[in-house]
Amino acid sequence: MPSERRSNRLYGVRKTYALDPLAGEDSDPNSTGDPTASSRSKGKQPVHGDSSDDDFQVGPGEEEGGEVGEEDFEDDDNFQDEDGGAEDEDNEDVAVLSEEESKGSRGRGQKPLLKSSQPRLTKRRQPDGTLALTGDETHSRGTWNPLEHVGKSIHLQVTFGLDERDILAILYARDRWGRGVDSAFPTRDSLDEAGSVQDYKYGPTFGVEPEDLKRESTRGWDWYYSDGAGERFRKRQRLESITEEEARRTFLPAPKQGKHTVLIGPADDQMAFTLDQYDVFNFGDAWGEVKGRPPKTGATAGSGPKRRKRQGWILNIGQRVQCTAWAPNQSGLNQYLAVVAPISNEQKEMYPDPLNDYSAPAFRPSAPYPCALQLWAFKADKGGDITKTMDMSLEPRLRLVLGTDWGDLRRVAWCPIPREPRDEDEEDAFKNVGLLAGVWGDGYVRVIDVKLSRDPNKTDFYRVDTPVFEAKPPSTVCTCVTWLSPSDIAVGCADGFVAAWSIAPPSIQPQTEKSSNPLPIFYHPIHSTYILNISSAYPTHAHLVATTSMDGETRLSSLVDHARDMVETTRMRVGSPHITYSPWLHSFVSSDENDFVRLLTVRRFFTTLAVARLPSTVSALATSSPCHPSQLVGCTGGTVIATNPLRRLLHSKEKQWQQTWFSHTWARGKDSSNSGTSRFNDGYRAESISLLRNMMGDRKLINGTLVITIFEEETHVTALAWNPNQSCAGWASAGFGCGLLRVEDLAM
């Protein structure tokens, strides 16, 4: 069998390119005195990976224009340098081998080569050493690819930066979350390690100076509590109390006929539960009790409810769950979850749309449909260590309903910036929950100061007449919102622009109701069309915002200088509606055009790293938690998976693990207006999945065509959220198209 094709360049040259020191002595004129004669006598042999430009150097004994045989040119043309060329990048010096290098590359006894007398091109340089470009010349720069063979230190520097703060922050994340047991869901032991392990000074602050983060949580909120600007800011909001009957009739979705049936429990012994609108049940009743050692709570055996293998709450909201978000800065036992469910299509028919024939619905304000923001309270158990479990003896309670008539509430975002508690919070008659920003159907972005009554058994119903802040860009509508600081927000617009406002009122001239629309501090085009989502890189790089658009582009822009500081990653065929920033990973997490989840590191935003794969199209992505790097992703098939991309980010060849939280399936009832039946399957094992898109033998190929399965809208996972508070960092919520809401403690 013939050997594989190799270069036909031969040992032994036909012409000598080096001076022979013995040329002047009496010898055979046909002999050159070089050791290659022995090679010629043994026949021609192919070169095995040894290439050098020394063979092409001309000695002073040969003329520059001397004849060269055609055979020489043929050999040189057929030769391919496997090392990618050995010329110096600046062409300033010609490589000359030393005596030791000459012996290693040309054989024992070979004489050193002299410098070439050929003319060479010398590039001009500036006094500082940089190249002086002339005419239309361009200079490009690059960086190492961490996926190639580079050392661990180089890999960390290329991926996360050269600053020691960035390196120490990722080392702290590796020490806490790099273990195999945390490859999917966060463990309770790892969550309880906060404050007890070596933090390298910059670990808990993700590379930010601890003094800066402390100053932002204290002095950064001075404007809110001040007597001047803060008082005017708080007085802007006007709420009108309404009755529960009016709220249910106008702002809340109408109940469906019949009850919603839920099947849940072990696969071979599931139990059926029926839920009316706003009913709640503990699905732990379908599971057996935990056997083994008691938890580390200090409670005696038999006291309180017995712990189940799985326990949590399922609520029936009654309509498709649009979005959910946990309130941050809640260090107590009460945790608050904001839930948005729009009214039904039958209810919307009662409100005429004056702009129905004006333009496409996505690019114009909608009709003034009523909508409600619901705030549900969940109680944590008093026992336990730092990370607490749910108190299953107290059912979740609806604490607040805020009704609006500005169209559907499409996006909500709590202000994630930490806020130190103050005496003013305790002196207020209402409990301060936080600032909530939202995007409504009329195209405005608004901020509401959410407060609750001190009575934990009371449910308040209000109609919001005026928020603390509202704004709208000219000739377009807002589509998404994110927080930059305690007083700054950024929104994406339907025309591809990004706008940023300061919600704090001016300290010199107060803003009155008759004043015009607030002017943005930033308003520039980032994309060519509709922006689907926006996320800021807070707290590590609060001035950087990542945006996804319907044009398929995903861009990272700086609000300081968007024209120069902008980078984009690989363009997709369709836009991705999901993107969030994880400070633990120093990366943005997003979805691709179908069923993959990708990682976009801030310093290498132009490349993507696949970290998860789902059985169907991605439909929901939980906002990254500041307490752990695990990510929750839901799909249209009703499956929710959890994965920790840290190990794959640090080691590109590491196996990527993911684990299914549950899978949900909805079936239609006998009547079209019936709520239907939902089935939950739990108890999945962690699995190592392949992140390569193999087109041969793929289960989604039918007759050679790639197909995408379309599921019932009620089966879809529509909203996911992690609890951002350290005491309840393992809590997560999932909303569905059928109107169910599942809340569970996932800390193992």
> What digits encode the pLDDT tens for the residues 178-198?
999 999 999 999 999 887 788
Q: Which among 539, 574, 538, 524 is positioned nearest to 554, based on CA atoms?
A: 574
Transcribe 140-191 into DSSP letters.
Answer: ------TTSS--HHHHHHHHH-SSHHHHHHHHHHHHHH-SGGGSSSPPHHHH
The region of weakest confidence among 13-27, 256-270, 517-531 is: 13-27
Boundary-marking domain end, from 119, 143, 173? 119
71 has pLDDT over 50: no
**Which whole number is the average pLDDT over 517-543?**
94
Residue 555 lies in a domain: yes
Single-letter residue type at 429:
A
Q: How far apart are CA 469 and CA 437, in angstroms?
A: 9
Residue 104 lies in a domain: yes
Rg, the chain, Cα only: 34
Which pLDDT value is given to residue 145? 74
Tokens of 240: 């009108």
Please give the distance of CA 432 from its chain centroid, rounded to a whole number.
Answer: 30
If 0-12 CB within 10 Å is exposed, 13-18 middle and 19+ buried, where does residue 20 land? middle
If 0-12 CB within 10 Å is exposed, 13-18 middle and 19+ buried, where does residue 286 land? buried
Which pLDDT value is given to residue 353? 83
Please calculate the CA angle 129-131-136 and round it to the nearest 5 degrees: 165
pLDDT class of 701 with cuts at 50, 70, 90: low
Q: Which among 326, 545, 521, 327 is positioned nearest to 419, based on CA atoms?
A: 327
Single-letter residue type at 627:
C
Q: Which among 739, 741, 742 is positioned nearest to 259, based on CA atoms?
A: 739
Pair 594, 472 in one domain: yes
DSSP 3-state of 558: strand
Residue 246 lies in a domain: yes
Tokens of 179: 């273990």
Pair 557, 689 in one domain: yes
pLDDT class of 370 with cuts at 50, 70, 90: very high
More confident residue, 126 or 270: 270
**Of all helices (H) and strands (E), which one includes residue 481?**
strand 478-485
pLDDT class of 131 with cuts at 50, 70, 90: low
Q: Please tell me the number of Cα atoms within 13 Å of 254 on its side-chain side.
A: 11
Single-letter residue type at 210:
P
Kind of pairing between the strands at 445-453 and 740-745: unpaired
Boundary-marking domain end, from 77, 92, 119? 119
Which pLDDT value is given to residue 194? 81
Pair 106, 231 in one domain: no
Pair 571, 705 in one domain: yes
pLDDT class of 272 with cuts at 50, 70, 90: very high
Distances (CA, A) of 19 to 10, 76, 738: 21, 22, 88
Please calculate the CA angle 532-533-536 and round it to the nearest 5 degrees: 155
Which pLDDT value is given to residue 673? 66
Residue 155 lies in a domain: no
172 has pLDDT over 90: yes
As for how many domains the chain has, the answer is 2
Which pLDDT value is given to residue 119? 55
Four-point Cα dihedral 501, 506, 507, 512, nearest 10: -140
**Of all helices (H) and strands (E), which one includes residue 548?**
strand 541-549
292 has pLDDT over 90: no
Distances (CA, A) of 156 to 50, 170, 180: 33, 9, 20
Q: Which residues pair with 371 in a beta bridge?
A: 404
Which pLDDT value is given to residue 219? 94
Residue 527 lies in a domain: yes
703 has pLDDT over 90: no
540 has pLDDT over 60: yes
Kind of pairing between the strands at 618-621 and 609-613: unpaired
Tokens of 315: 């609520």
Pair 547, 689 in one domain: yes
pLDDT class of 305 with cuts at 50, 70, 90: low
pLDDT class of 485 with cuts at 50, 70, 90: very high
Q: What is the CATH number of the domain that holds 270?
A: 2.130.10.10
Range of 331's domain?
222-288+309-745
DSSP 3-state of 232: helix
Report the greatest alpha carbon distance in the chain. Answer: 120
Q: Which among 681, 593, 669, 591 is positioned nearest to 637, based on CA atoms?
A: 681
Pair 713, 584 in one domain: yes
Most confident of 92-96, 701-705, 728-732: 728-732
pLDDT class of 722 with cuts at 50, 70, 90: very high
38 has pLDDT over 60: no
Per-residue pLDDT tens over the stretch 412-423: 999 999 999 998
Residue with tokens 């608050």: 336
The region of weakest confidence among 133-142, 288-297, 556-565 is: 288-297
DSSP 3-state of 686: strand
Q: How far apart are CA 600 and CA 626, in angstroms?
A: 17
SS3 helix, strand, coil % of the chain, rounded to 5?
15, 30, 55
Kind of pairing between the strands at 705-706 and 686-688: unpaired
659 has pLDDT over 90: yes
Cβ(96)–Cβ(113) under 8 Å? yes
358 has pLDDT over 60: yes
Which pLDDT value is given to residue 130? 65
**Which whole number is the average pLDDT over 551-570?**
93
Pair 243, 104 in one domain: no
Residue 195 lies in a domain: no
Residue 222 sits at φ, ψ, to 5 deg, of -60, -35
pLDDT, mean over the chain: 82
Q: Which residues pair with 21 in a beta bridge?
A: none
Which pLDDT value is given to residue 694? 55
Per-residue pLDDT tens over the stretch 43-65: 444 444 444 444 434 444 444 44
Q: How far apart are CA 89 and CA 499, in angstroms?
A: 45
Which pLDDT value is given to residue 104? 45
Q: How far apart are CA 570 and CA 609, in angstroms?
A: 11
75 has pLDDT over 80: no
654 has pLDDT over 50: yes
Transcribe 276-338 into DSSP letters.
Answer: -TT-EEEGGGGSPBP-SSPPTT-PPTTSSSPPBSS-EEEEE-SS---EEEE-SS--SSEEEEE
Pair 518, 661 in one domain: yes
Pair 84, 232 in one domain: no
Pair 479, 622 in one domain: yes
298 has pLDDT over 60: no
Most confident of 22-26, 74-78, 333-337: 333-337
Percentage of the residues of the chain whose pLDDT score is greater than 70? 76
Please calculate the CA angle 324-327-328 and round it to the nearest 5 degrees: 130
Distances (CA, A) of 679 to 195, 263, 451: 41, 5, 36
Which pLDDT value is given to residue 196? 78
**Which whole number is the average pLDDT over 490-499?**
96
96 has pLDDT over 50: no
Which pLDDT value is given to residue 138? 64
88 has pLDDT over 70: no
Contacts of 477 (CB under 8 A, 6+ apart): 363, 364, 365, 442, 443, 493, 494
78 has pLDDT over 80: no
The region of weakest confidence among 4-8, 65-69, 739-743 is: 65-69
Which pLDDT value is given to residue 301? 42
345 has pLDDT over 60: yes
Q: Which among 263, 316, 443 is positioned nearest to 367, based on CA atoms?
A: 443
Cβ(501)–Cβ(511) under 8 Å? no
Percentage of the residues of the chain whose pLDDT score is greater than 90? 57
Boundary-marking domain end, from 119, 147, 181? 119
Per-residue pLDDT tens over the stretch 432-472: 999 999 999 999 999 999 999 999 899 999 999 999 999 99
**Which whole number is the average pLDDT over 631-660?**
93
Tokens of 58: 């001309």
Residue 186 lies in a domain: no
Q: Please tell me the number of Cα atoms within 13 Å of 276 on its side-chain side.
A: 0
State the distance between the two ends of the chain, measured CA to CA, in whole angstroms: 59
Which pLDDT value is given to residue 141? 61
Residue 172 lies in a domain: no
Distances (CA, A) of 470 to 363, 473, 502, 505, 513: 19, 11, 11, 12, 11
Other C-beta atoms lying within 10 Å of the C-beta of residue 637: 20
* Whole-prediction pTM: 0.80
Residue 549 sits at φ, ψ, to 5 deg, of -135, 165
**Helices and strands of the chain, counted as H and E runs:** 13, 37
Residues found in the chain: 748
Pair 733, 610 in one domain: yes
Q: Which among 738, 690, 691 is positioned nearest to 714, based on CA atoms?
A: 738
Q: Which among 411, 422, 413, 412 is positioned nearest to 220, based on CA atoms?
A: 422
Q: How far apart are CA 739 and CA 722, in angstroms?
A: 19
